[in-house]
């Protein structure tokens, strides 16, 4: 089996832990957040209990996904320390952490690099127009702040995942501009491993009254993204947000090759349960696709990981019988 085979689709066997749901942003499409200081933080003891139950389940990735504490808040430092400690705990218990907790300072990002095999931040859309609509009360959604995160990840040599949120009031040309910006950043640093194309899928909590992104449009966006993005960036789509099997297959035909982290719950879209592995196989195999697990760090980034992280990555590669890095 070779991961370069044309008919292979990857996914990451994952579990999401949430340090806190509190967030100082108020994106109108959000189905995740609670008010600042109104959500109890996950304790290390509770996290240890959760992680203990995941042992021997072939779950490699722990996605650490958090609401944001304001950079000027006195609680920012304890928030960051909790995230760092959760990463360390996950690592020590044999998992591979991937953190996505909003914009970080350079120092925070540098510190998290030592306890993560990769990290992520959605660019969503770079158009400033959204600051007047869905991001009117979301100070950390400033396009220049998010672009800078991509740049810093590159300078720090952090394997990085980013992506677009589609259907939140942007235009088609906004998609191509955001994809072009990702492409330009990657050409400078070669650090983007995946780009997620996430269709807006309304949930029961959000205040935004907008229709879902038309899934029939997604293959077209994927095909154009494939033209814009360098070939070594994988395009990821979330299968729970593309419910029609034929359109999921159409997305693969258009160039998507990864289905992201498959965990018991999609914390960002809690109204859309993840399609589990066997069900995905049942959809993909008749279409000629083979579903194989992958790790949260792609093999081309082995040289960027410190020795301890690389050792754990290699253990998982052996466990999943994945080919060694070239």
Is 64 among the residues that bind ligand SF4 (CB under 6 A)?
Answer: no
Closer of 41 and 289 to ligand SF4 (Cβ): 41
The CA–CA distances, whole Å, from 230 to 126, 197, 291, 308 equal 19, 15, 23, 30
Choosing from 26, 70, 76, 224, the residue that interacts with ligand SF4 (CB under 6 A) is 26
27 annotated as belonging to a binding site for a ligand = yes
Does 39 interact with ligand SF4 (rule: CB under 6 A)? Answer: no
Query: 251: annotated binding-site residue?
Result: no
Sequence-separated (6 or more) residues with CB below 8 Å from residue 134: 27, 28, 29, 168, 169, 208
Please report, to the nearest 10 degrees, the dihedral formed by the alpha carbons of residues 304, 306, 308, 314 taken in order: 20
Position among 67, 199, 202, 260 found at the interface with ligand SF4 (CB under 6 A): 67
Run of H or E residues at 125: none
Burial of 59-86, coded b for 16+ CB within 10 Å and e otherwise, reads bbbbbbbbbbbeeeeeeeeebbebbbeb
Of 19-27, 183-191, 193-201, 235-243, the window that binds ligand SF4 (rule: CB under 6 A) is 19-27
Given 3, 8, 25, 154, the residue binding ligand SF4 (CB under 6 A) = 25
**Known binder of ligand: residue 60?**
no
Nearer to ligand SF4, 30 or 112 (CB): 30
Give min distance, CB of 207 to ligand SF4, in A.
11
Q: Which is closer to ligand SF4, CB of 104 or CB of 138?
A: 138
Q: Which is nearer to ligand SF4, 26 or 111 (CB)?
A: 26
The only residue of 10, 12, 13, 32 in contact with ligand SF4, by rule CB under 6 A: 32
> Does residue number 30 form part of the binding site for ligand SF4 (CB under 6 A)?
yes
Element (H, E) at 197: strand 192-199
Q: Which residues pair with 198 in a beta bridge?
A: 165
Q: Which residues of 188-203 are buried (b: 16+ CB within 10 A; e: fewer)?
A: ebbbbbbbbbbbbbbb
Binding site for ligand SF4 (CB under 6 A): 23, 25-27, 30, 32-33, 67-68, 102, 138
């Amino acid at each position: 089996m070779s991961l370069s085979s044309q008919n292979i689709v990857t996914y990451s066997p994952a579990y999401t832990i949430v340090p806190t749901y509190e967030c100082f942003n108020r994106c109108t499409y959000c189905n995740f957040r609670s008010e600042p200081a109104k959500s109890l933080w996950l304790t290390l003891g509770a996290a240890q209990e959760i992680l203990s139950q995941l042992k021997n389940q072939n779950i490699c990735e722990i996605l650490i996904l958090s609401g944001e504490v304001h950079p000027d808040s006195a609680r920012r430092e304890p928030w960051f320390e909790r995230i760092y400690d959760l990463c360390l705990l996950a690592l020590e218990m044999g998992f591979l952490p991937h953190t996505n907790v909003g914009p970080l300072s350079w120092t925070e990002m540098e510190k998290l690099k030592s306890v993560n095999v990769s990290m992520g931040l959605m660019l969503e859309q770079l158009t400033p127009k959204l600051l007047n609509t869905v991001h009117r009360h979301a100070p950390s959604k400033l396009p220049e702040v998010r672009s800078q995160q991509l740049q810093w990840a590159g300078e720090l040599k952090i394997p990085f995942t980013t992506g677009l949120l589609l259907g939140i009031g942007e235009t088609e040309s906004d998609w191509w501009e955001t994809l072009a910006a990702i492409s330009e950043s990657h050409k400078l640093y070669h650090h983007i491993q995946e780009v997620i194309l996430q269709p807006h899928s309304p949930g029961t909590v959000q205040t935004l009254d907008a229709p879902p992104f038309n899934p029939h449009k997604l293959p077209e966006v994927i095909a154009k993204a494939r033209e814009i993005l360098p070939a070594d960036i994988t395009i990821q789509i979330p299968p729970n947000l593309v419910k029609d099997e034929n359109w999921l297959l159409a997305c693969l035909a258009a160039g998507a090759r990864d289905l992201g982290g498959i965990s018991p719950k999609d914390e960002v879209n809690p109204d859309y349960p993840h399609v589990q592995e066997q069900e995905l196989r049942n959809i993909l195999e008749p279409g000629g696709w083979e579903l194989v697990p992958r790790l949260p760090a792609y093999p081309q980034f082995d040289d960027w990981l410190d020795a301890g992280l690389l050792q754990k990555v290699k253990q998982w590669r052996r466990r999943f019988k994945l080919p060694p890095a070239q």
